[in-house]
Amino acid sequence: MSTTTKDIDISTFQSDFEARSLDMICINESRQQHPWWYNFKYMAVGMLFGIVFIKAEIISWFRIQEMFRLQSFHMYGVIGTAVIVGMISVWLIKKFNIKTIHGEKIEFHPKKFNKGQIYGALIFGLGWALTGACPGPLFAQIGTGSLVVLVVLLSAIAGTWTYGYFREKLPH
Amino acid sequence: MFQLLQQTWPWYVAGVLIGLIVPALLLLGNKHFGISANLRHACAACFPAGIKFFKYDWKKESWNFFFVGGILAGAIITALFLKNPDPVVVHPYLLKELASYGITDHSALLPKELFSWSSLFTVRGMIMLVGGGFLVGFGARYAGGCTSGHAIMGLSDLQWPSLVATVMFMVGGFAMANFILPFILHL
């Protein structure tokens, strides 16, 4: 597989990076540029995720209600196991300096604390228990044919937009 | 084998597979697991409205759209070919509580009394679907990530701000499910 690594103007990269890293999450780390169809590899991972979401009933409104009522261990087991597997994987990648399949160094960025992780997360939690879905399961719920969840998704996008609009005025 | 695939998968199988998404995305192209950023990219792509928060090159993040596209495709495949034909097993206490609000359907993963077009146009449905969705989108971005970005990716990388966020997700969820939701379901 041949890859082309183009030099990207560092100044634009940094300013862009800053804007995107306001998120402190989902920052596209890669400086490599690939043809668009390379993105299908992420689609394959997403498909596996979508199947697991449904087969393990993670997208179920009932499972989320049970979790918050301490009536079932299921969701705690799923998230706990995922975190442990993720932790071991990240530790291995750092320890052995494992590169991407394209030979690029894998980068990690420390997250900065801000008050959003308290207020925002609390607001998110309220919504999570109402809809029984965090953003990932929303897509899977739509895929199972519950088209009314499209409304939930659009509303979530509207919520994100509203946050962007009032961002400067909110405590961080 | 096929029957095994049709049944509900146990938590340890699901947990391991979801945990493996973290290294898979890192190894495939230095991508950090996170889903709620898609909602931001959607804003940036469709209605940035001159807001600084949405002014960035969203096309660079298009991998994330492919990722959720995959989730959607995986869900469709499962619904078509691997669907569990049995009703969803629900804890008897929860069933009893829900019955007192007139929610008795547990044939699928989402109760029809709440997740349907006719429910959407009731006060209860409007609060839960439109209001709930809004809180999820607003809160996730305010927190800088959702369950995938903070609880799974952030904790995997031992980031303490993500632990704060994860704890607050749970606090919000407990408060809503136990203290506020009963009033909403009564509507």
Q: For residue range B41-97, what is the model confidence (pLDDT) as tens digits?
A: 999 999 999 999 998 888 888 999 999 999 999 999 999 999 888 889 999 999 999
Residue B27 has pLDDT above 50, yes or no: yes
Quick one: pLDDT at residue A8? 42
Residue A91 exposure: Cα atoms within 13 Å on the Cβ side: 10
- State the smallest CA–CA distance between residue B1 and chain A in angstroms: 14
* Residue A76: per-residue pLDDT: 97
Inform me whether the C-beta atom of residue A93 falls under 8 Å from chain B C-beta atoms: yes
| DSSP annotation of A110 | P
pLDDT of residue A151 exceeding 90: yes
CB burial string A53-78: b at 16+ within 10 A, e below: bbbbbbbbbbbbbbbbbebbebbebb
Residue A29's pLDDT is 58
Q: Which member of B37, B145, B171 has the closest CB to residue A125?
A: B171
What mean pLDDT comes out for the span A74-91? 97
Contacts with A112 from chain B: Cβ below 8 Å: 161
Confidence of residue A22 (pLDDT cuts 50, 70, 90): low
Separation between Cα atoms, residue A172 and residue A118, nearest integer Å: 9
Token pair for B70: 């995959």
- DSSP assignment letter at B115: S
H and E: helices and strands count for chain A: 7, 0
CA nearest to B85, candidates B114, B53, B108: B108
How far apart are the CA of B137 and the nearest CA of chain A, in angstroms? 4
pLDDT at A27: 54
Q: H or E stretch including B4?
A: helix B2-6
Q: Which of A162-166, B20-24, B79-83 is predicted with the least confidence, judged by mean pLDDT?
A: B79-83
Q: Which two tokens stand for residue A165?
A: 């609009």
Residue B155's pLDDT band (cuts 50, 70, 90): very high
Q: Out of A25, A74, A132, name the one closest to residue B37 (CB).
A: A25
Categorize the per-residue pLDDT at A111 as very low, low, confident or very high, splitting at 50, 70 and 90: confident
Report H helices in B10-159. 11-29, 37-46, 62-81, 92-99, 117-120, 123-125, 132-143, 155-156
* Per-residue pLDDT at B83: 86
What number is the ipTM of this complex? Answer: 0.95
- Which of the two residues, A59 and B60, has the higher pLDDT score? A59
Name the residue with higher pLDDT: B67 or A2: B67
Give the helix/strand (H/E) hosting A150.
Answer: helix A149-166
B74/B63 Cα distance (integer angstroms): 16
User: What are the C-alpha distances in Å from A99 to residues A4, A95, A96, B159?
Assistant: 16, 11, 9, 21
CA distance A79 to A53: 12
pLDDT for A3 beyond 90: no
Tokens matching residue A161: 């937009």
Compute the distance between CA of residue A132 and CA of residue A67 in angstroms, rounded to an integer: 10
Q: Label residues B65-104 b or e (16+ Cβ within 10 Å = b).
A: bbbbbbbbbbbbebbeebebeeebbbbeebeebbeebebe
Q: What is the mean pLDDT of chain B?
A: 94
Entry pTM: 0.91
List Cβ neighbours of A40 (8 Å cut-off, separation of 6 or more).
B66
pLDDT at residue A7, as a whole number: 43
What mean pLDDT comes out for the span A143-153? 96
pLDDT at B56 (0 to 100): 87
Summary mean pLDDT of chain A: 86
Q: How far is A35 from chain B (nearest CA, A)?
A: 11
SS3 B117: helix
Of the residues B38, B71, B180, the best mutation for testing chain A's interface (the one with the most A CB atoms within 10 Å of its CB) is: B71
How far CA B62 is from CA of A26, A146, A162, B50, B55, in Å, comes to: 11, 25, 22, 20, 15
Decide if A116 touches B, using CB distance below 8 A: yes
What does the pLDDT read at residue B85?
84
pLDDT digits 0-9 by tens, B94-126: 999 999 999 999 999 999 999 999 999 999 999
In the predicted structure, residue A25 carries a pLDDT above the cut 60: no
**pLDDT at position A18 over 60:** no
